[in-house]
Amino acid sequence: MQNRILALGLLLAGVAAWPARADELSIPTATADREQAAPAVVLPTRGATQAAVVKTYGQPTKRYPAVGGASPVQPPITRWDYPGFSVFFENAHVVDAVVPGRPAQIFHADQLKTTAN
């Protein structure tokens, strides 16, 4: 009986010594370095027209030709680059504006991604 208890104790001690594994949750954070490197930019809002973007921000440094547009299900998407951000248009209206290298804002916990160790 004592041998079984001793064997069980050794087995449990060995299992406890195994390294633990867990998923790691990556949460983007604003660091002082990133905030200094990329000051806050007021981006065009969704639904704004191309004319309103030009009036507010001036001419873009680069305009890309429209992609898509073959059907109503795939409307033409255009990209304009400005110093520090890019604007995406569907037809003539803003659908998104992004700052390259800056993670998208998280609105819900389901948007968080896990990474395995």
pLDDT of residue 60: 97
* Residues near 79 by beta carbon (within 8 Å), at least 6 away in sequence: 63, 64, 86, 87, 88, 89
Judge whether 43 and 99 are in contact, CB under 8 Å.
yes
Which pLDDT band holds residue 41 (cuts at 50, 70, 90)?
confident
pLDDT of residue 32: 47
Which pLDDT band holds residue 39 (cuts at 50, 70, 90)?
low
Mean pLDDT of 27-34: 57
Q: Where are the domains of the chain?
A: 24-116
Where would I find the beta strands (DSSP E) of the chain?
23-26, 62-63, 77-82, 85-90, 93-98, 113-116
CA gap 6, 2 in Å, rounded:
6
